[in-house]
Amino acid sequence: MSIETCPLSIEDIQSELEEIREIAAKNNTKKMFEKALSLIDLTTLNSTDTVSSVAAFTEKVNQFPAAFPGISNVAAICVYPNMAHTVKSSLKVSNVKIAAVAGGFPSSMTFTKLKIEEAQLAVSAGANEIDIVLPLWAFLEGHFETCISEISGIKKAIGDAHLKVILESGVLNVDQIWQASILAIGAGADFIKTSTGKLPQAASPEAAFVMCLAIKQHFEETDQKIGFKPAGGIVTPEDAILYLTIVQEILGDQWLTPELFRIGASRLANNLLEKITGKTVKHF
């Protein structure tokens, strides 16, 4: 199976991004900071996570409406699969999803059968969103059918749960990011996501641009909307707004909803709250 190359060169992409950066600078407003906060997958993926720490993490989300009345809560809590049940049993607020990484996260270096079972177990434990990693070991050698079979197998196994496929875009070139995006979407991804956050190379505006172009092409061809999630190293409010603006400029305002856009982050939420409230905030 062959997949076409990106329709734009890296030079063209960077030129387009210069214009988008100018627009993003004007988008650094309280309204947009609040929008960004409402699109966060609040994430804890530490080797030191415990049932107690994840329950406490979830409780901060529970307390958010009382602590910050009038400001929308985060979109989801993202944890390791064995912690999905802890979030489910602790979460008291509505409209906050439970996301779990699965499928041999973060390397995807295990057997497909185990990836499928792990994803199913995470859903059974309470996750309604599953984040998996594209099997780079197969993708980088051009074994696209292996990647498609694995993604589609996991998607089928998790039923109505949403599937986010992480491309690990920081280790891919522009053409590879395009190819991986088209592949993942075709295999059944509900979202495509930039990075695990576990490698030095994380999300980049260039990767976001290419992935959004792929989503746009798919929408124009099929009328199906696929979500986008930048993740990894997004810490400042200004960075978050840049990604919102990329999505806004390529896909439109209709994508700026939790159903179609998320930001994977751990430290970003407090930084956004400081911009919104004008105070030092250590809530999350």
Q: Which residues are catalytic?
A: 131, 193, 229
Task: Give the Cα separation of 269 and 267 in Å (integer).
Answer: 6
Which tokens in the block code for residue 281? 């905030």
Long-range contact list for 116-124, CB < 8 A, 24+ apart? 116/153, 116/154, 116/157, 118/81, 119/81, 119/154, 119/157, 119/158, 120/157, 120/158, 121/81, 122/81, 122/84, 123/158, 123/159, 123/161
3-state secondary structure at position 71? coil
Query: In Å, what is the CA distance from 43 to each residue of 3, 46, 79?
Result: 33, 9, 6
If DSSP codes are grouped into helix, strand and coil, which group holds residue 98? strand
For 282, the token pair is 């250590």
Among candidate residues 239, 36, 271, the one with its CA nearest the CA of residue 279? 271
The alpha carbon of residue 21 and the mean position of all alpha carbons in its chain are separated, in whole angstroms, by 21
State how far the Cα of 4 lies from the Cα of 85, in Å rounded to an integer: 41
Q: What does the chain come to in residues?
A: 284
End-to-end CA distance of the chain: 45
* Contact assessment for residue 55 and residue 279, using Cβ atoms and an 8 Å cutoff: no
